[in-house]
Amino acid sequence: MIRKKIWLYDTTLRDGSQREGISLSLNDKLQIVRKLDEMGIPFIEGGWPGANPKDVQFFWRLKEEPLKQAQVVAFCSTRRPHKKAAEDPMLKAILAANTHWVTIFGKSWDLHVTEGLKTSLDENIAMIQDSISYLISQQRQVIYDAEHWFDGYKANPDYALATLQGAIASGAKWLVFCDTNGGTLPHEIGQIVGEVVDKLNLDLDDPDAVQLGIHTHNDSGTAVANAIASVLEGATMVQGTINGYGERCGNANLCTLIPNLQLKLNYHCLEPEQLTQLTPNSRLISEIVNLAPDDHAPFVGRSAFAHKGGIHVSAVARNPLTYEHIVPEAIGNERRIVISDQSGLSNVLSKAQNFGIDLDKNNPKCREILQRLKTLEHEGYQFEAAEASFELLMLEALGKRKQLFEIKGFQVHSDITITEQIPYTHALATIKLVMGNEELLEVAEGNGPVSALDAALRKALVKFYPQIAGFYLTDYKVRILNSTAGTNAKTRVLVESTNGAQRWTTVGVSTNIIDASYQAVVEGLEYGINHLLQNSAIVMES
């Protein structure tokens, strides 16, 4: 059976960057576009040339260093009312970007024409036709985004269809239906797309005829479902963003949409080896845009194939199909066995195997590890989010934990200075430790007590392990465990560390937040050094 081709269109660099909290530099955009190109995305929307200097530079850089296979697409609106397309500076900027493909958006909703553009319905259609015809006369291929398509069709179907007929007559290669407000539901999407195909008498099986695409927003939480509904009615282009980034509630999430289309519905989106890049690229791009990855995201989240209950773990060990809807490796993810107070021996054995530790279920150390785990979690420790600490715990129980250094004591002094009513914290940490036969005393400053303590410890250890100069903390989480105890409450601290390539998390618990932080920081460095010495990959938690 021939698998129908779906053309992926990524708009992370434009629509995705409109998400609140995202600001991409030129280098960020270039790094992302090359990853998407390597993954096999056919169309990548680079931005709106002329809207800002950064986008102009972006398109110029890609002319100097072209992509391997993807078509980079320039984006803008139709010409302004009562002007000629050939004289519109906005369209001149589009041509200057020198892309083969251009996406033009126009108004489908009569409300937007009269209230937004303040022009007539006929002039709006003329704007669509003139803009597309002009770009085609300049040897460009045009994708026409019908903005507010579904709202416009529901309000005035005859006029909405007339805008599409204008785009078709002018030579647009693709008609993309946009649910710009994100308020349409899947059953409406499917019904409307089907009606349009019939009313315009479109031959979607003819590759030379105009084709349909879909662009959905997630304001109703149905962007992915809406895109799938459109594909089932004949759309062969899906527009979306990595991780669903976008304005307001975001766009259709390509990390969810692609595997659903390819693995569940048997459409062809990417080559199998390209599909395995989905999870790593999802996480890399989240780092580039400086947003924490969603651990519970479908398909690509850390928890997407995580198993916690002992019964689940036992079943998965026998047959993964019992609790996994796809093979995680197909999209570059991996199965994780979560360790918690709900764990059984199967969790411990599976986690040991994951750590590369040889452990037999008949070994009495298994139950000792399990009991130690349950005792510590009762005290407030949490190992499902701190697998590095659990590996150290397991090695200690088996007598395999190396004593790299011994902390003799530490002191932290913190000052808060008020300058122009703004508090400024300055901390000084002193740490005393023994390394082999050598006793070390180091002092370091930081912008807070944990920062100063971490700096002092690294300062002492870097003399023996220079590679840890490349280690750094990436996250620090504090949780009060018994808030009713007031200032005597027990505190749990999770510290995430990285060597620049991998991440690992360690945990500390104490009634003293500095002590809890110290535990987590020390274990983070110990774990990193241990794996450095073993010359093995650090257990991935990213």
The three-state secondary structure class of 470 is helix
Measured between alpha carbons, how far is 239 from 133 in angstroms, rounded to an integer? 23
Q: Which amino acid is at 435?
A: M
Angle at 145 between CA 143 and CA 150, to 5 degrees: 145
CB 102 within 8 A of CB 143: yes
* Parts of the chain with a pLDDT under 50: 536-542
* Helix, strand and coil percent figures for the chain, each rounded to 5: 45, 20, 35
Angle at 230 between CA 225 and CA 234, to 5 degrees: 145
Task: State the distance between the two ends of the chain, measured CA to CA, in whole angstroms.
Answer: 37
Q: Which amino acid is at 540?
A: M
Q: Parallel, antiparallel, or unpaired: how do β-strands 211-216 and 7-10 relate?
A: unpaired
DSSP letter string, 398-414: TT------EEEEEEEEE
Q: 312-343 burial, b if ≥16 CB within 10 A, otherwise e?
A: bbbbbbeebeeeeebebebbbbebbbbbbebb
Determine which helix (DSSP H) or strand (DSSP E) holds 505, and give its type and residue range. Answer: strand 503-510
Query: What are 43's two structure tokens?
Result: 């169309």
Determine which helix (DSSP H) or strand (DSSP E) holds 278, and give its type and residue range. Answer: helix 278-288
Neighbour-count burial of 74, counting CB atoms closer than 10 A to its CB (0-12 exposed, 13-18 middle, 19+ buried): buried
Residue 336 phi, psi dihedral angles, 5° rounding: -130, 135
* pTM for the predicted model, two decimal places: 0.72
CB 453 within 8 A of CB 477: no
Measured between alpha carbons, how far is 186 from 163 in angstroms, rounded to an integer? 23
Measured between alpha carbons, how far is 209 from 467 in angstroms, rounded to an integer? 59
Angle at 125 between CA 120 and CA 130, to 5 degrees: 120
Measured between alpha carbons, how far is 68 from 45 in angstroms, rounded to an integer? 15
Q: What is the 3-state secondary structure (H, E, C) of 214-248?
A: EEEECCCCCHHHHHHHHHHCCCCEEEEEHHHCCCC
Measured between alpha carbons, how far is 496 from 493 in angstroms, rounded to an integer? 10
Measured between alpha carbons, how far is 43 from 466 in angstroms, rounded to an integer? 44
- What are the residues facing 43 on neighbouring strands? 9, 71
Closest CA to 109 of 94, 96, 124: 124
CA 210 centroid distance within chain: 33
* pLDDT at position 194: 96
Please name the residue that has the structure tokens 């069709």.
153
Q: 491-520 burial, b if ≥16 CB within 10 A, otherwise e?
A: bbbbbbbbbeeebbbbbbbbeebbebbbbb
The three-state secondary structure class of 461 is helix
pLDDT digits (tens, 9 = 90+) for 10-40: 999 999 999 999 999 998 999 999 999 999 9
Measured between alpha carbons, how far is 527 from 369 in angstroms, rounded to an integer? 18
Closest CA to 515 of 453, 446, 447: 453
DSSP letter string, 71-138: EEEEEEEPPPTTS-GGG-HHHHHHHHTT-SEEEEEEE--HHIIIIII-S-HHHHHHHHHHHHHHHHHT
Helix axes 157-170, 186-199, angle to 10 degrees: 60
Closest CA to 365 of 398, 408, 388: 398
Q: 354-388 burial, b if ≥16 CB within 10 A, otherwise e?
A: bbeeebeeeeebbeebbeebeebbeebbbbbbbbb
